[in-house]
Structures are given as C-alpha cells and as structure tokens.
Amino acid sequence: MFDKLIFKTFGGTKLEQKLIRCQSYTVNNIYKWKQQTNLTWKETFKFLKNIHVFDAAKIREVLEDIVERNPEICNQNDLYITSFGSEGKSGGNISYELRHTNLFSSNKFIESWKLQELPEGSTIIFVEDLIGTGSQSTEYITEKLNLLLNPSYKTYLLTICATPEGISKVEEETNFSVINGILLEENIYQNYTENCNNFNHKEKEKLKFLNNRLKNNVNADYDRGLLVTFFYSPPNNSMPILWKDGYKYDDNKEWHALIPRQY
C-alpha cells in the first residue's frame, strides 16, 4: 500500500502510461520488477524516466524525417525497399510502418527473396529498427546478403536509431551506407559511460551490477547501456534488466523483465 502511495504521489501513473504503449508490458508490472532490483523509488523513477519508447506514431515521424532529409536516395526511380534481417523480426515491423506512411508507392516494397530478380544498378533500402554495436548487422550482410546481391546494386541500411560506433562498423566493414534517424550519442543514451549524466556514479554501478548478472558469453557484448524500446519489443542493446524475462541468475532465481523481449 505504501509503495502504491509513493508511486502515485510522485508521478508514477504518468510514467506507466508511457510503458503501456509497449505490447509486452502489463499494468502494475513496475512493482514486481522493482522488488528484485533493490533500487530505491527515487532510482526507480529516474530509470523509468530515461526509457525511450518508440511507438508506431514516433516511428513514422522518424521515417518521414529520414525521407525528407535524403531526397537524392529516396526519390530514385530504380528504388526498392525491403526488411533487414530474418522474416518476422524487427526489420519487418519497420517495413510495415514505412509502408503505411504513404511515403513510397506500394510497388517499391519487395520481399527479400526477390532481390536477385532486380535490374542492374538498382538502389535497395533495407529497413531496420536499431544498430547497436554494428556486429549483428555486419555479420548478416557479409554472411547472408552479400550472397544474394548483385555488385552493381547501391545498398543502404535505413534505421530508426543507431550508435555512432555501430554506424562506423557497418560502413567500414561492408558496402552498405547507413541512413539513420536518431543518433544514440554516448552522452545522452549510453548510460554506463562517464560522459552520460542520466545517472550518478553510484547509480551506474548499481545498474552495471544488476545487468551483469543477466549476461552470458553470447550476448554480453550487445548491451550498450541503452534504455530504448520499440512498441513491439526492446532491442538486445538495451539493458538486460529491461527485457530479459525468465533468465536464471544467482542459481535459483528467475528474472522478471519490465518489458519482456518478444524474440
């Protein structure tokens, strides 16, 4: 009862309204999530305030801005658009939102298996939600896409948001150019770093400790200290305590995610 009083008194209801825009968030989940963190209510509110939610409206707003800023690419006659990554994943969600902005005619959108049928010299925009470290993107390009793409194609990776280091990795290690919406700068979005002041030193150490308990060798390098989520799922570059539901830690405990990741 005391927790609920604090929550409502200090604006928790408004913060929860932001999280409800995420499909996997359930009402009152904040209380259960907080209990396992040992964060104070002050620290919890600061954490919640720093979560950036990209709902459908925000995604379409960013897409419209990207297209407006890149007319030399987006207005080409030989332009084709497809999702980046495996079918049914994040790229497909962004492709869906882009298709419904009416920024491009429907015949510009193609399925990935038709890439080899495109004419010589075609421009192809692959759409994705986020580039974090850039490792997953470069791996997918070099190991899968390059086997399908004609060397004459001009290829772009359009993403809603990306870290500077992720963009550099993709552009330096592949023949893709990145068209980015929001730059996830270190001092604003990468919460572990000294240059980011969203949390003080003590709070950062707490967050690092909590997140390190939920990492294994497979995904340890993906966590960039981000607090970013899309309405359909958080990316794995965000803090694991945000999304890693059901993960076993401390031998017999199971983590209850604030916004469970859907894939």
Residue 25 inside a domain? The answer is yes
Domain limits at 216? 2-49+190-254
Contact in structure between 76 and 123 (CB atoms under 8 Å) = yes
Clarify whether residues 172 and 203 are in a common domain: no
Question: What's the token pair of residue 246?
Answer: 């059901």
> Do 98 and 159 fall within a single domain?
yes
Does residue 263 belong to any structural domain of this protein? no
Q: What integer pLDDT is reported at residue 115 of this predicted model?
A: 93
User: Could you tell me which residues come within 8 angstroms of residue 73 by beta carbon, excluding any fewer than 6 positions away?
Assistant: 79, 123, 125, 156, 179
Q: Are 119 and 147 in contact (CB under 8 A)?
A: no
pLDDT of residue 46: 96
Domain boundary among 125, 155, 183: 183
* 248 and 150 part of one domain: no
Looking at the structure, tell me whether residues 143 and 233 fall in a common domain.
no
Query: What are the pLDDT tens digits along the chain (263 aa)?
Result: 667 777 777 678 999 999 999 999 999 999 999 999 999 999 999 999 999 999 999 999 999 999 999 999 999 999 999 999 877 789 999 999 999 999 999 999 999 889 999 999 999 999 999 999 999 999 999 999 999 899 999 999 999 999 999 999 999 999 999 999 999 999 999 999 999 999 999 999 999 999 999 987 655 568 899 999 999 999 999 999 999 999 998 888 999 999 999 87
The pLDDT of residue 218: 58
127 in a structural domain: yes
Whole-angstrom Cα distance, residue 176 to residue 99? 22
> Is residue 162 one of the residues assigned to a domain?
yes
Of 126, 148, 183, which residue is a domain's last? 183
- The predicted pLDDT at position 233 comes to 96
- The answer to whether residue 28 sits within a structural domain is yes
User: Do residue 135 and residue 230 come from a single domain?
Assistant: no
Distance (Å, whole) CA 130 – CA 230: 10
| Residue 260 located in a structural domain | no
Out of 163, 183, 203, pick the residue that ends a domain: 183
Q: Are residues 42 and 66 in the same domain?
A: no
Q: How far apart are the first and last CA of the chain?
A: 35
List the structure tokens of 177: 């150019």
- pLDDT given for residue 221 in this prediction: 62
CA 141 remoteness from chain centre? 18
pTM for the model: 0.94
Shared-domain flag, residues 213 and 125: no
- Identify the pLDDT of residue 1: 64
Q: Is residue 200 part of a domain?
A: yes
For residues 68 and 170, membership in a common domain is answered with yes
Return the half-sphere exposure (C-beta side, CA atoms, 13 A cut-off) of residue 83. Answer: 18
What total of structural domains would you count in the chain? 2
